[in-house]
Amino acid sequence: MPPSPIQTDAILSASELSLSFGRHAILDGASLAIYPGEKVGLVGRNGSGKSSFLRIAAGEERPDAGTLSRKQGLVVGYLPQEFQLDDSATVEANIRAGAAELFDALQRYEHADELSDAESHRLLALIEHGDGWNLETRIETLRRELSAPPGDRIVAHLSGGEKRRVGLCRALLSQPDLLILDEPTNHLDAGAIAWLEGWLADSNGACLFVTHDRYFLDRIATRIVELADGRFFSHEGNYSDYLVAKAERQERDQNAEHKRQRFLSREIEWVRAGVKARGTKQRSRLDNFYAVKAQKAPEKELDMELVIPPPPPLANVVVELEEVGHFYDRDPLVLGLDLEFKAGECVGVVGPNGVGKTTLLKLILGELEPTTGTVRIGKRTEFNYVDQTRLALDENKSVIEEVSQGQDSVRFGDETISVRSYLQRFLFGNERINDRIGNLSGGEKNRVLLAKILRRGGNFLVLDEPTNDLDLQTLRVLEEALVNFGGTALVVSHDRWFLDRVCDRVVVFEGNGRVTVNEGNYSYYLEKRRAAEAVAAAAKVKPAKPAKPAEPAPDKPRKLKWKEERELETMEETILAAESVVAELEEKLNDPAFYIENAAAAPAMIADLEQKKTEVAALYARWEELEAIRAAAG
């Protein structure tokens, strides 16, 4: 029998892994192989064991049972959620530690005349395999593109986000054969995420990664592996392909379970009759019954029912900013911002790290006074602020103790529900409610934090990076809750899928104090910005020299014709109608449930969406052209 592909091709293979924490088994005979060059997105609920498996794959943790084997000489880069840097060293030193073996090989190869030929050849092969000749250039590129702090900064003085970007630079530096990343997009702005996507797409190495960023999964993953019930389920393709495949898998499992239950119903009467299994056929029939009865039914995937308590009513004035400006020292963070919030809307805030997004939140909350302008807060506005650091959890308390705060019930709109019922909405069953916080996974702790914070109520939610470390299922339910929230929500996030799903408007920090307010979701803002940039770039292109002498310029610039005047008058209405069609298509395509029933129609709809976006861009260009003619004519 020829050897299996796992034995011959895989760079890393896990076979029959088992791992338990107390009574909770997170790996139960799990097997997985990773092959050269593939990009594997690992998904699953918080607490399912994703981070634990990454630690096992990286060699940082051992399973209770099973084997893990690697291809000989495999170079591995690893960015865990809870990573360690040398706080006493500089940023530069910590990044260089990611390629310590390469730097050592370079240093030793400089003295090749003191080495044997065999050792020289080994070092040269190692250097060339890791592109060691370009290490210094790569350090500068990584620091620049991932917005890492200057190389001479001491790590102990950095923020959590800055440290994470240093850790990511360190993991990428050696260009490993296998890159293992746990939530790589956390604390990265949109530009850095786009650069990382390009770097991974161009990389020849394999990548195993966990992320809540669904656009990142869609654009990078060549295979999605789901960890559920302690086992791995592999699906070829990206995240959208996985959603379709998973729905099909669940349907097959349910059909098989339905057949199993029908078989057991038919056979149970025969078994209850107490027939003595004397004959071979009777023994075989009885053995078959007990074998089928012992089979495990497919786990029902539970979802949170709701995570945001209904809000108290808002007044006509929610929050209004008029000509608001704010400076840090002498640097402008916000200049002349007009922004009015309405009941029932969700506003997203985007921009690079450090430009002033959190400052804007504090201005809106009334925690900071603006340098210029006014902030007016409505009389009925009740803020509930979920900041980046969230709240501290007591590791020694149970889940119910931490969330209940000594009370038996939670106010939920006009109702009062028990704390246990409230926690069940956050997917904490009776067996987990009494677990210590210290025994929970990072994602489960985030669910506890959300439950603890959101029980405070309020009708104006201010969420600063709410998606960090939440699993994909929880994100979908949080999105649905925000869409249906009757109050006002303000969300700071780098998660583009999340912003597209929930936002009615997007506030964008453009730099140097310029902050713009844009209708529509984040992708729509990007489309309009690209269209405007294309128009601006076209205007800068010098016209080609005419084949014949140009006509002399008229004495006066021409005026709009009658038809052009009518076109300009209706242009805004035309654009709004075209944008409405685009928004409707995007809403359908952004809904994961759409792909379950309409997978075949999706490609044509995506092509139609791109065509409609092109038409919108053309309308904007025509609008600017007509406005320019009118302005020139005075």
Q: List pLDDT tens digits, range 355-366.
A: 888 899 999 999
Give me the number of domains the chain comprises.
3
- Whether 109 is covered by a domain: the verdict is yes
**pLDDT bracket for residue 2 (50, 70, 90):** very low
Please say whether the beta carbons of 382 and 459 come within 8 A: yes
Residues 449 and 388 in one domain: yes
Q: What is the mean pLDDT of residues 289-309?
A: 64
Is the pTM here over 0.75, yes or no?
no
Dump pLDDT digits (tens) for 300-325.
Answer: 555 555 567 788 899 999 999 999 99
Encode burial over 248-275: b for 16+ CB neighbours within 10 A, e otherwise. eeeeeeeeeeeeeeeeeeebeeeeeeee
- Output the pLDDT for position 409: 86
SS3 412: strand
Whether residue 367 sits in one domain with residue 430? yes
What does the block give as tokens for 187? 């604390």
**In a shared domain, residues 390 and 414:** yes
Claim to verify: residue 84 and residue 112 sit in the same structural domain: yes
In a domain, 46, yes or no: no
> Do the domain assignments include residue 264?
no
325 and 431 share a domain?
Answer: yes
Q: Evaluate whether residue 187 is within a structural domain.
A: no
Same domain, residue pair 397 and 448:
yes
Are 495 and 564 members of one domain?
no
CA distance 418 to 423: 9
User: What was the pLDDT predicted at 576?
Assistant: 86
| Span 168-213, pLDDT tens digits | 999 999 899 999 999 898 878 778 888 999 999 999 999 999 998 8
Q: Structure tokens of 221?
A: 């993953």
Do 505 and 568 belong together in one domain? no
Q: 216 in a domain, yes or no? A: no
Same domain, 382 and 514: yes
Is 416 in the same domain as 533?
no
Handedness of CA 385, 388, 389, 395 (dihedral sign): positive
For 361, the enclosing helix (H) or strand (E) is: helix 357-365
Task: Let me know whether 482 and 536 are in one domain.
Answer: no
Place of tokens 């690992």: 42
Picking from 176, 200, 217, the residue at the C-terminal end of a domain is: 176
Comparing CA positions, the residue from 90, 36, 24 lying closest to residue 441 is 24
**Percent of all residues in the chain with a pLDDT value above 90, rounded to a whole number:** 35
Domain of residue 604, residue span: 525-541+556-633
CB 297 within 8 A of CB 257: yes
In a domain, 38, yes or no: no
346 φ/ψ sector (left φ>0, alpha ψ -120 to 50, else beta): beta
Which residues is 416 bridged to in the sheet?
A: 411
pLDDT of residue 281: 58
- One domain, residues 495 and 560: no
Residue 446 forms part of a structural domain = yes
Which pairing describes strands 231-236 and 178-182: parallel, antiparallel, or unpaired? unpaired
pLDDT in tens, 525-558: 888 888 877 777 776 665 555 555 555 545 556 6
Sign, Cα dihedral of 185, 493, 497, 456: positive
Using an 8 Å Cβ cutoff, are 524 and 579 in contact? yes
231-252: pLDDT as tens digits: 999 999 988 888 887 777 777 7
- Look up the CATH number of the domain holding residue 530: 1.10.287.380
Taking the CB of residue 33, how many other CB atoms lie within 10 A of it? 20
Mean per-residue pLDDT for 440-458? Answer: 81
Residue 210 is assigned to a structural domain of this protein: no
